[in-house]
Amino acid sequence: MGIFSQKRIVITGGTGSLGKVLVRRILSFKEGKPKKIIIFSRDEAKQHYMRLEYQHMKNVTEEVIYNNFRQLVEFRIGDVRRYESICSVLKDADIIINAAALKQVPTCEYFPYEAVQTNIGGAENIIRVLRENNFPVKTVVGVSTDKACKPVNVMGMTKALQERVFISGNIFVPKTRFVCVRYGNVLASRGSVIPLFYQQIKNGGPLTITTEEMTRFLLPLEKAVDTIFAAIKDAKPGEIYIPQAASSLITNIAKILVGERKIKIKCTGIRPGEKVHEILISDEESWHTVERKGYYVIQAMLPELIGKKINKRILPGEFSSANAQMDLEETKKMLTKYKLLFEHQEEKIGEILA
């Protein structure tokens, strides 16, 4: 039996790029056939289009709106900020994957308290619901970001606190296992640099980068989902799972996408709250990091959750996009492998930029 066999799975913020791939992967049934997958979010338009896409994929021609609650994939409107909203959807859940977030750096800088309410308050609501109602949820996975490590912007700060809130949940709701995953930029996800470059190429340029030295981790969506699955399978309470991701210079990505076109690449300067290099594991965290089945795992630091102590430090220091770089050719191979060169995407440009 797989990890999802006969399980009721709730994906908060499930209409995003990650949620769509998560649903597709779960529906492959390679990890077992679930009893129900519930997409919980507050955007009715995104839910509607995801529902239509799912029904089309499954070749269902019957009414797809009013049969919502009869489907294996069910859509629920709600908001992680509201206790009662979360309460109604978690009642019979077995696994919760929390992907609900405000994640655009400029938005969070201008509206920091909005980010606090979603990214921190949402996590606390999930814990409070489970604690106060004794719901039989087995696992909660918090989806985090490299920006949570040594954060310099509001988005990263709120995600760093979200990690700590979820980890503390193991103390207050000991029947439920709370774990996190942390990774960098997901290739071609909404709001990432590649769709921005697509749009700029389509408009004739220029491609804008903040500085020539800037690097970022690059993670295919499939690998992001693999990390979540690995954490559900093997993580101990309070652990943070991190993929062994590669990184690239943003200038190399721009050069590869531009190709032979006569389009300029323009440096605009570092924006507020932006790092030159992202970090997935800090120097301090490296002392608590182990390697497990191809992933780095930051062990829980709370005394009540600490298991077997580490005898050997596996990382010499922080795990940064500055020291995990692919060269130009390696970056091109990755973009080609995942069909992310602009030429491969022109027929789907509207979908990618949506």
Task: Show Cβ contacts of residue 127 under 8 Å, excluding neighbours closer than 6 positions.
Answer: 165, 166, 168, 169, 172, 173, 178
Is there a domain that residue 83 lies in?
A: yes
Domain encompassing residue 23: 8-353
Closest C-alpha to 249, from 189, 183, 193: 193
Q: Tally the domains of the chain.
A: 1
Low-confidence ranges of the chain (pLDDT < 70): 55-70, 190-191, 343-354
CA distance 271 to 268: 8
Our answer to whether residue 147 is catalytic in this structure is yes
Q: Is 262 exposed, middle or buried (0-12, 13-18, 19+ CB in 10 A)?
A: exposed
Integer angstrom CA distances of residue 324 from 18, 51, 278, 334: 24, 39, 11, 14
| Active-site hit among 7, 46, 103, 147 | 147
Say what the pLDDT of residue 67 is. Answer: 56
Say what the pLDDT of residue 353 is. Answer: 41
**Contact predicate 145/156, CB 8 Å:** yes
Say what the pLDDT of residue 245 is. Answer: 93
Say what the pLDDT of residue 7 is. Answer: 97
Per the listing, tokens 């390679």 go with: 30
Is there a domain that residue 1 lies in?
A: no
**Contact predicate 111/129, CB 8 Å:** no
**Contact predicate 247/326, CB 8 Å:** yes
Give the Cα-Cα-Cα angle 294, 296, 298 (nearest 5 degrees): 150
Q: CATH number for the domain including 63?
A: 3.40.50.720
Is there a domain that residue 3 lies in?
A: no
Say what the pLDDT of residue 347 is. Answer: 46
Is there a domain that residue 2 lies in?
A: no
What is the pTM for the complete model shown?
A: 0.91
Say what the pLDDT of residue 343 is. Answer: 66
Task: Show Cβ contacts of residue 224 under 8 Å, excluding neighbours closer than 6 positions.
Answer: 18, 21, 181, 183, 186, 243
